[in-house]
Each structure stands twice: as structure tokens, then as C-alpha cells.
Amino acid sequence: MPDNPGERPPSRPWRELGVVVAAVTAITLPTFLVGTLAVQIRASMHFGAAELGVVVGFFYAAAALAAAPSGNLAERMGGTRLLRNSVLASAVSLLLVAGVAGSWPELAAIMVLAGLASSAGQVGSNLFLARRIAPARQGLAFGVKQAAVPLAALLGGLAVPALALTVGWRWAFAGAAALALVSAVALPRPRLTSAQRRAAAQARGPREPAGPLIALALGFGLALTACSSLGAFLVTSAVAGGVPVGMAGLLAALASGTAVAVRVAVGALADRRQGRHLVFVVGMIVVGAAGFSMLSLGSTLQLPVLLLPGAVLSFGVGWGWNGLFNYAVVRAHPAAPGRATGITQTGGRVGSVLGPLLFGILAAHLGYGWAWGLAAVEALSGALVLLGARGMLLNRPARTVPG
């Protein structure tokens, strides 16, 4: 099915999915590179854990403000166009970090641009998949697409020993900018007809009840309040817990690689299941809460042996449900999937603002053990709210597919 109702159907949908994965990786890299290279960046710019939380928080604050408007914009201009423009904006932000940023306030300002690009690009990619991939394969497609997020974290973790400890951390941002430019060029060109105007008119028509979407956004936000601290603080937390810097980067890469595999596997499984996708999401979040608890205990007791399983469970499983969540939202709102995921992403982005800010403050004053413990509580709270949101979806008129 085309990106908008007037676009030519793709002849190679899985090739295009690969390009989308590269594009989503590029728009996600700025914040993960800041997190995994935080030891080197903080030494260069002279700031602490609290300031790092502010920098990452600026990224997610901008993304939160842009999420809902991006959903409406995607329905009007098309997922492909919005995604391409977002990737180009992300490339600019990466180049600015590589060549200009010299202090944490400057870094935070650049993260605003990166956050706007990331939010718009995520919504654009959701609409791209909803319109261009056959429904029977959308679960796998969303899983593969969301695997770009931990893939970005994996690349960030590998950048520590490969670039940051050799030629310097700025080269990692320059390389990410090159990836963004290449993926922007490789995205397909939509062929539009007058049918797109009809799609835009439909996007302005009657809307779904707001209650279930608001509840989904709240649960998504609470869960991501916990998860959003992983990319920014996993490496620094591991170093504080006694893990060498290079090994801490590899730990982040291993946890991220697990998340990549989990998101793809869960997406493939979703195509073989009928419903109950949100129940599966809740189960994964609960497992992630157990991982956060292990990180908390390992940090408190200075036991590096607990950090590896804690990182794999929290990052791999506890943050491996995003693709399945977006797939469930798209299935439940087939008339306007871009707008629906824009609303739910608003909650996720707000949670992603609060997560690093709260984590950074708590880590700076009470230590990483307390901060990871709070993440476990946030994850469990999100799981409970998502269960309630699913009940609201089931009680709607039977015109959409429940999650």
C-alpha cells in the first residue's frame, strides 16, 4: 500500500524498509552518542551528571513538543517527505556537535534541533510503514524499524573504543552525519496524485475518541521515563560501578544488540498472533523492571557481575517493546495512524524528558543505585496504565482492531 493513497506502491518494500531503518538510526543517534560518549564529552566540556541529564532532556523536550503536530503534518504531506526532511535536519545537528559545540549549553541547544528532527522522523516512518507495507507483515516491519533505536545505541557503544578512545569523540558525530545524508538520499521519491488531497481531507475529518489515546500516551510515557535513561547513563553508571570505560561501551553495545534482536523477533511474532499485543508489551515492561532492579542493586553494592544481566534485561527486553506498541496503535487506528502515533509519542517524549532529568539529579545526589531503583518503579507504573488503556480500547465501538 502506498505511503499516501496516491503514491505508487513500492516494488521492493523490504529494500525500502532497510533505508527507513538507516534513516531512523540516523535521527536517533544524536542522543545516544551523547550518552555513550558522555565520559569523553564531559571531560572536554567540563560538566557533570546533572548537566548531562539537562542536555538529554532538551532533546526529548523538543521531541515532545513536536510529536502531535508532526502526526497531523505527516497525514498531510506524507511519511516519506517528512522523514527525509527530518533526516536532513538531524544531519545538520550532528555536524554542529562535531564542529561547533564547546560547552554543555551549546550542546543542549543543538539537541533541540535533533529532538525536533527525531520526533517528526519517527512519526513519518510510522506512516511510511502503515501505508507501504502489507498488513500481514507490518508487525515485523515495525519491529525492524524500531530496532533502529537500539541499533543507534549499539553504534554509540562501539564508538567508544573505536573512535572516542582513538581519534576523538567528535569524529563519531561526523560519521553519524554522513550516515544521515546517505539515508536521506536513498529514501524513495513518492509519486503523488489528486488522491493525496482526499487523504488530507480525511485527516481533517472526524477523529477517534481521545480517551484511549491519552491513556496509551500516559502509559507509554511512564514506561519511557524509565527506559530513556539507559542510553544516557548506562555507560557512566557502569564506569562508576567499577567497569573500565572500554568495557562499559561494549556492555552498552551488547545490551543494544539484544534489543535489536528482541524487537525484530517480537515483531515477527506479532504477525502470527491475533490481538493481545498490548498484554505482551506489559509483560516485557515488567521483565525490564526486574533488569532495572538488578542495575540498582549492582550499583549500590558495587557488584559489576549484576550489571551485565541487568543491562540485557532492562535494555534488551524492557525496551524491546516499542515496535510492538506502535504496531498495536496503528492497528487500532487505521484511518489516521500518523496522527494516532503522534499523540502517543507525545506521552513517550514527555517521559523521555523527565527520565534523564530525574535520573541525573538523583544520581548526582544519591547515587546510581537510587536512580535505577526509581526507573524500576516508573516501568511498573507504565505497565499498569497500559493495561487500563487496553481495557478502554476494548470498550470502544467495534470499528477498529484492539491491541
What pLDDT is recorded for position 111? 95
Residue 143 has pLDDT above 70, yes or no: yes
Query: What is d(CA 288, CA 337) in angstroms, rounded to the nearest whole number?
Result: 27
Confidence of residue 267 (pLDDT cuts 50, 70, 90): confident
Region 162-178: mean pLDDT is 85
Confidence of residue 207 (pLDDT cuts 50, 70, 90): low
Residue 203 has pLDDT above 60, yes or no: no
Contact 277, 324 (CB under 8 A): yes
pLDDT in tens, 276-287: 889 999 999 999
Query: What is d(CA 290, CA 303) in angstroms, rounded to the nearest whole number?
Result: 16
Q: What is the dihedral of CA 259, 261, 267, 272, to 10 degrees?
A: -140
Handedness of CA 72, 328, 141, 182 (dihedral sign): positive
Q: Please give the biggest Cα pair distance in the chain.
A: 64
pLDDT in tens, 84-102: 999 999 999 999 999 999 8
Confidence of residue 293 (pLDDT cuts 50, 70, 90): very high
What pLDDT is recorded for position 208? 63
Closest CA to 20 of 259, 139, 186, 137: 186
Q: What's the CATH architecture for 13-190+197-394? A: Up-down Bundle (1.20)
Other C-beta atoms closer than 10 Å to the C-beta of 399 total 8
pLDDT in tens, 58-76: 888 898 899 889 888 888 8
CA distances to 68, 113, 212, 311 from 388, rounded to whole Å, are 22, 34, 9, 28
Helix-then-strand count for the chain, H and E: 16, 0
Closest CA to 256 of 87, 36, 47: 36
Q: Of 338 and 121, which is predicted with more confidence?
A: 121
